Amino acid sequence: MKICIRHEIQNIAKLRSHKLKVTPIRLELLDILEHAREPVSVKTIKQSLKVSGADIASIYRNLEALKKLGVVLQVQLEKGEGFYELSGRDHHHHVICENCGKVCDVPKFHPKTMEENALKASGFARINRHSLEFFGLCKNCLNKK
């Protein structure tokens, strides 16, 4: 994966603004997530990383550090595998294939009445964010059956 100099400069600034050490693995993680069209698994990240010595534990540690600072979001899916994406993008939901695990973004729609009902039922003062996933079969998997 070719890293664009402008994006690398932005990613360095992003890490420094959160008081995180700038390391090759963090820069490459941000670059991978920046260019991803949908949330990516750690397995996919591992396959995409060019940094030598980047084992699974290092990937998880760095993703966790970025997640704690709100730079990265973890999308927890039904089967437990975590997928990751950059935060700060437009709010969206996901549709997941129950057969092959493919994850696609669904453009923003805001179910305001669901949020209002959740506030009333829970007694919460406010809702900061929500997560909504749809599960089904992608066209490839449906055609194989």
- Residue 141: which domain range? 90-145
Q: Are residues 59 and 71 both part of a single domain?
A: yes
Which residues carry a binding-site annotation? 91, 97, 100, 130, 138, 141
Same domain, 81 and 118: no
The residue among 62, 88, 114 that closes a domain is 88
What's the pLDDT band for 83 if we cut at 50, 70, 90?
confident
Q: Are residues 6 and 24 in the same domain?
A: yes
Q: Are residues 1 and 71 in the same domain?
A: yes
Predicted pLDDT of residue 1: 45
HSE (side-chain half, CA atoms, 13 Å) at 17: 8
Domain limit, last residue, from 88, 106, 125 = 88
* Gap between the Cα atoms of 37 and 9, Å rounded: 21
CB 56 within 8 A of CB 82: no
Binding residue ranges for Fe cation = 91, 130
Single-letter amino acid code for the residue at 2: K
- 68: CATH: 1.10.10.10
Q: Within this chain, do residues 113 and 77 fall inside the same structural domain, yes or no?
A: no
Mean pLDDT of the region 30-36: 88
Rounded to two decimals, what is the model's pTM? 0.66
Higher local confidence (pLDDT), 96 or 67 = 67
**Mean pLDDT score, 90-107:** 80
CA angle, 37 then 108 then 38, to 5°: 15
Number of domains in the chain: 2
Binding site residues for Zn(2+), as ranges?
97, 100, 138, 141
Q: Classify the C-alpha dihedral 76-137-46-93 as positive or negative.
A: negative
Q: How far apart are CA 2 and CA 92, in angstroms?
A: 27
